Amino acid sequence: MGRIVLLEGDITAQSVDAIVNAANSALVLGSGVAGAIRERGGPSIQAECDAHGPVEVGGAAATGAGELDARYVLHAASMPPGGQASEATVRSSMRRCLELAAERGCATVAVPAIGAGVAGVPLQRSAEILIEEALAHLEGESPVEEIRFVLFGEQAYRVFESVNDAAKIEAQMARLRKRT
């Protein structure tokens, strides 16, 4: 089984196989994580997004990573342009990104707080959904060895840390219940 790593920092500075972009369904790299990916990765990423065309809300798309230190950018389309994400679209777009990572043989994937911020999902709930999906993916057959949540600011890091710690405790309690 792979592992979950939490970091506070700049997702575009990560050296990984794939970086997940908190995207809109039109695949327009606007602000936030998408804007940082556009600025640091260069225009080829948006050009590939334009060529790919829109995806359904809750879906995902893969492009090259331009000048980023990654092979791919996986665009988690959790919201329509100018709209809001929902818990269901955050869950399904994360799941699809991890499937795309596995299909491409990625061992390391960097993920932001998809759905939080301008997308409207509370940070706590975003963390719960994303960590749940990461754990579920890592329990299955997958080349993904590390899902690295790269969070902007200490507050986001602390929320994800708390949720991840709670998941570890729950897993330990489940193992103990099986022994009795």
Quick one: pLDDT band at residue 32, thresholds 50, 70, 90?
Answer: confident
pLDDT at 103: 97
Domains (ranges, CATH) in the chain? 3-179 (3.40.220.10)
| Residue of 54, 57, 61 lying closest to 21 (CA atoms) | 61
d(CA 173, CA 167): 10
CA dihedral 60, 61, 62, 67 (to 10 degrees): -100
d(CA 49, CA 133): 25
Percent of the chain with pLDDT over 70: 99
3-state DSSP call for residue 63? strand
**pLDDT at residue 64 greater than cutoff 90:** yes
Residue 169's H or E segment, with its range, is helix 154-179
Kindly report which listed range (3-12, 76-85, 109-118, 165-174) carries the lowest average pLDDT score: 165-174
pLDDT at 53: 85
Q: What is the mean pLDDT of residues 71-78?
A: 97
pLDDT at 1: 75
Q: What is the mean pLDDT of residues 43-66?
A: 96
Percent of the chain with pLDDT over 90: 87
pLDDT at 54: 95
Q: Which residue has the higher pLDDT, 95 or 168?
A: 95
> Residue 43 pairs with which residues in a beta bridge?
none
**Model-level pTM?**
0.94
Q: Which two tokens stand for residue 164?
A: 């991840």
